[in-house]
Amino acid sequence: MAASYPTTSVRNGMADHIVDQLDGGTVEFQTSGDVEVATLTFGTPAFGAAASGTAAANAITSDSSATGGTTTKAVLKSSGATIVVACAVGTSGADINLSSTTIGAGDTVSLSSLTYSAPS
């Protein structure tokens, strides 16, 4: 009988390692030209423990005064501003889905949920 790799415990360890880097960090939404549109802040801890290779974020503080622009991507950064994860942003079928990718200057931007899944 063949085992599947990586095992669930390995995937949990991978996910926990990645999300632990985000404690007190940020989610920065950016334009295609790397210009910041809005920045949200993770708490400490940023995520709960992984289960089945997936970790769910704890509460994320909204950006109540966005810079504004059209976002196509997001970078998840450590508290020291190191990029840990980069992902695509869209209105459906993207890594992060927003109700609109066009954000006005001064808008409030929030995430109701965010998960990180280690590759299987």
- AA identity, residue 78: S
The total number of structural domains in the chain stands at 1
Mean pLDDT of the 20-28 span: 98
Q: How far apart are CA 26 and CA 30, in angstroms?
A: 12
Residue 15 lies in a domain: yes
Task: List the domain range (segments joined by +) for residue 83.
Answer: 8-49+56-109
For the stretch 57-105, pLDDT in tens is 999 999 999 999 999 999 999 999 999 999 999 999 999 999 999 999 9
Whether 12 maps to a domain, the answer reads yes
Burial class (CB in 10 A: 0-12, 13-18, 19+), 33: exposed
